[in-house]
Structure 1
Amino acid sequence: MDTVLALSRLFLGPQHLVHKPDSPEAFLLDAGTPVRQSFSFATELPDRHPLFSDTTTPFHDLLFPVEALRQAALFAARQYFRVPEKRITAVSATGVEITDVTPWRRIGEGSRLTLDLALTPVDVVTGVPRGLECEAAVSIDGRRCGAADARLVFLSPGVYRGHREAGRRQSEQSIAAGWLVEPAGVPAPEQVGHRDPRHVLVALSAEGEDGDEELLFPVDGQAAEAVLADGSGEVPPALFLEASRQAALLAAAELHGFVPSHALLTRWQAAFRGFAEPGLPLYCAVGGVSGADGTGPAPAADRDAAGRPSARLGLTFRQGDREVARVSVTVLQDC
């Protein structure tokens, strides 16, 4: 079945999701049995999008396929895996990796994005999954060039409210106790790969708790709300990729001398440890990856197979002393 989606206001133009059923029941009933199912998502990469096309770099925006995966998987969860509408969807982990840089270069208009999706229900109770494992092979204009993954968790309203309230209390208590950092200024849009100052979501780094061992970037919640809000009243999931991308570009420039207009993220992996709360200060701390836990001073930039400088960075998002998400990224200097 070819379904035309209206995913979110981040997308322009039609998006097609095709279910490729693996069982006769799924084919006849147009509904998924609680086993792994395959889908194909296709759309055009935006050429004149107010956010995705506002770039000083010659690359397609990495945020687009990540958000496409999340939205397509959520649609499939409701339509094909019978997840009730009252269940609240949370992303517990997600990531994306570029395996071939060439197709990501902007060489003209009308490039087509395709995601070959495999969705596997987990924690199935009476035929309804409590979670969904999502994997996607990413292609641009028919050329395989990346991979993306995500784990969605479907929470009851009561469990969801309990997590939100506990997290908010912890953040508010630490903020009231003095955990508040003033920004050191606002970067120029070009420093974070944009032209429009309205798309700058992070302030310049302030001194972190560990002094020179981390850079601390306050996140502008109001700017993020204006650019990325999805109408849910929550901190939009897309904020974490865009804010960490901007913070990583600033950090790579400061630590390694990278030029933002020729830098891109080739790998981004995030694990979420709670819910960020609208209205509370949010910070992105950046440090070098010296071990599996993503901590430690920044190492020297490495080189990829083509000899281009590449830097791995560890990031954490915090509200007060509460860690909301932990992210690892690889920044490539395309020179």
Structure 2
Amino acid sequence: MDTFTAPSPSFLGPHHLVHRPASPEAFLLKATAPVRQNFAFSAELPEEHPLFGDSVSPYHDLLFPVESLRQTMLFAARRYFRVPESWHPVVASGGAAITRLDAWRRGGLRAGLALELGVTPLDIVNGVPRGLECEAAVSIDGERCGTASARLVFLAQGVYHNHRVLGRRQSEESVAAGDGDPASPGVPLPEQVGHRDGRNVLVGLPEHTGGDGEEGLAFPIDARAAAGLRLEAPDAPDEVPPMLFLEVSRQVGLLAAAELRGFIPSHAVLSRWQASFRGFAEPGLPLHCTVREGVRRTDGRVSRDAAGRPVVDLRLSFLQGSRVVARVSASVLQDC
């Protein structure tokens, strides 16, 4: 068992990581065979963070365990799987779910987060993986209460650069053709997206859309605000950070659930999130999110979870112009 404290980005703060190697050689050589490896991560859930400490919600946020998982995967890739520093990490997909809501309630005391992670190498060439897949069980104060997952791919710098150039050109052409941000009628109050401080509001009020007989909402996104929220990824400072998509999903999810189903944002929680990324969102270009409700009941009533609480399922698309950069399925639960 290899125990250490990984380099601590300001986002995570103090934390601890334990490697549970699959072979004695991995313990001795500080490197592993390209097979699944297990890790244990622990930290205190943050209370003073400018984003998390600003919540009007009585729940801990999914964002912290998901970012903890991503950074653990990056550390494992470099230290244990010998992925070269020159290869650029890209989040291909990610997800998280709350399986026991009571454990996510803030109790006024510091809460401990633990992740049990299994990291599997993918597309192995000469013993080095071109990708990693991770699944994790999430526990708070010793109670298992959620899941998280992600898939990373590692691109050579030339391949990464070509993807960025092509995507930016497509977005610029689309925006120039008139496929820009929706015209927002204003900015929501912070409490409408679960915050107290207006600087944490990343979206505008929605514009109602329609098409194929299906009503939807379109939200402009202020991607520049990510730096102020410390969501930027130190490994890719010139990219729109992956965690922006999760935080925006939460904000538009609360707004959409209130608009479509009358949920109260201060008692609503993003309980499930599953994203697939189709390209890079480029800083400096308009970014917006469209939201449609998932499959609705034939009687028009809201769906409910096993405990009888109302749940609305949503489908989100993130676009620059008409170019889709990410698709998300999400659920918002009303605790009542």
State the secondary structure of the residue aligned to 2:227. helix
Q: Residues 33-44 of structure 1: matches in 2 within 5 Å?
A: 33-44=33-44
What secondary structure does 1:226 align onto? coil
- Segment drifting more, 106-115 vs 320-329: 106-115
* Pairs within 5 Å for 1:180-219: 180=180, 181-208=182-209, 210=211, 213-219=215-221
Q: Give the distance between the partners of 2:10 and 2:33, measured in 1 at CA.
A: 31
**Counterpart residue number, 2:56:** 56
- Which residue identity lines up with residue 5 of structure 2 in the other structure? V
The equivalent of 1:125 in structure 2 is 125
Structure 2 letter corresponding to 1:222: R
RMSD over aligned CA atoms reads 1.8
Distance in 2 (CA, whole Å) between partners of 1:50 and 1:300 is 37
The amino acid that maps onto 1:162 is N
Equivalent in the alignment of 1:66:
66
Quick one: which amino acid aligns to residue 285 of structure 2?
L
Residues 38-86 of structure 1 show CA distances to partners (whole Å, capped at 9, x for unaligned) of: 0000000112221111101100011000000001111110010000000
Q: Tell me, which stretches of 5 or more residues in structure 2 are unaligned?
A: none
The answer to whether the aligner puts 1:221 opposite 2:226 as a matched pair is no
Which residue identity does 1:125 align to in structure 2? Answer: V
Asked if the contact 1:300/1:311 (under 8 Å) is kept, the reply is no
Question: TM-score by structure 2 length?
Answer: 0.95
The alpha-carbon deviation at position 300 of structure 1 amounts to: 4.2
Where in structure 2 are the equivalents of 1:95-114 lying within 5 Å? 95-114=95-114
Q: Is the 8 A contact 2:224 2:283 kept in 1?
A: no
Q: Quote the Cα distance in structure 1 between the aligned partners of 2:332 and 2:260.
A: 12
Given the alignment of the two structures, is residue 246 of structure 1 paired with residue 251 of structure 2, yes or no? yes
Q: Deviations over 1:102-156 (max 9, x none)?
A: 1100012221000000000010000100000101000001111011100000001
By how many angstroms is 1:209 displaced? 6.2
2-structure distance, mates of 1:301, 1:321:
31
Mark the runs of 5 or more structure 1 residues left unpaired by the alignment.
292-296
Shift of 1:6: 3.4
Q: Distance in 2 between matches of 1:212 and 1:21?
A: 51
Check whether the contact 1:8–1:230 (CA below 8 A) recurs between aligned residues. Answer: no
Instruction: List structure 1 segments (4+ residues) > 6 angstroms apart after TM superposition.
Output: none
Distance in 2, Cα, partners of 1:9 & 1:75: 15
Q: Say whether the 8 Å CA contact 2:139–2:145 is kept in structure 1.
A: yes
1:156-171 mapped onto 2 (5 Å cutoff): 156-171=156-171
Please give the TM-score of this superposition, normalised by the length of structure 1: 0.95
The answer (yes or no) to whether the contact 1:2–1:17 under 8 Å persists in 2 is: yes
Q: Percent identity?
A: 60
> Size of the alignment, in residue pairs?
330
Task: Tell me what 1:9 maps to.
Answer: 10
The match for 1:294 is none
Partner of residue 89, structure 1 = 89
Is contact 1:9-1:230 (8 Å) kept? Answer: no
Q: Which structure 2 residues correspond to residues 293-312 of structure 1 after superposition, within 5 A?
A: 300-312=301-313
Report if the CA contact (8 A) 2:208-2:215 is conserved.
Answer: no
Which SS does the other structure have where 1:53 is aligned? helix
Task: Point out the more displaced range, 106-115 or 239-248.
Answer: 106-115
1:91–1:153: 8 Å Cα contact kept in structure 2? yes
